[in-house]
Structure 1
């Protein structure tokens, strides 16, 4: 099993209008960074450069998991977008860890635990920012949207079990 540090994406400030993104080689991460408008690869330093703008940051945060990214202290202080994104990801991770432990104690397989956790993350990502918790109507609305997209009833039932 690879160490988490081996997979960490590092985001640092380059200049007033650029950010440096160091990504360990991973085809999924490469596909994601290529979706950020204005990105370019710097061969000499083996890092990506993206524009330091709200639009680029929002694109970047849409494509990457906050838990996979380490943000430099300077950016942490400067960027509300990055700080809020990183904090929201850490809150999700805490809940994910807790769920993984509970499912493991119940004897679920590693693949089932992964599937349940991923489904719950998709559900949580579909919600607006909620301060009062998740209600039954949130779950129903999400499940109905899955059915409308053609997801099978069996998959929706698994989603309900996971949530």
Structure 2
């Protein structure tokens, strides 16, 4: 009985102080068919930091069919994707110092996993954000909505 009361109290405390860690952690998969496992990532605006774990479930190496995850304003998707292509694999297909990019993971190949952890202080609750893969040619179809609400 005491354990249940303590667990309930702990839950109430975590709810009163914002999002729980698990609400701020997201699992995402990408495959050799240029597809993410979801078209929507949603995290509470109370998350001060978000972690996205990207797993490449395919078999192709990073040089041939690599994937990353990049967060930007929806209005900037095409420009970030195009500039990323020119930045090359050494820069994980993200233009160095690109202020339009809120967060970006490294490019991974088949069987690999990476975790991107970033602070949300530059995001606004209810903002119009997109997550995408900036590997050349992928950004046009490998994207989804990133909700911060």
Name the TM-score, length of structure 1 as normaliser: 0.25
Larger RCO, structure (CA 8 Å, separation 6 or more): 2
User: Higher strand share goes to which structure?
Assistant: 2
Structure number with greater Rg is: 1
Name the TM-score, length of structure 2 as normaliser: 0.26
User: Higher helix share goes to which structure?
Assistant: 1
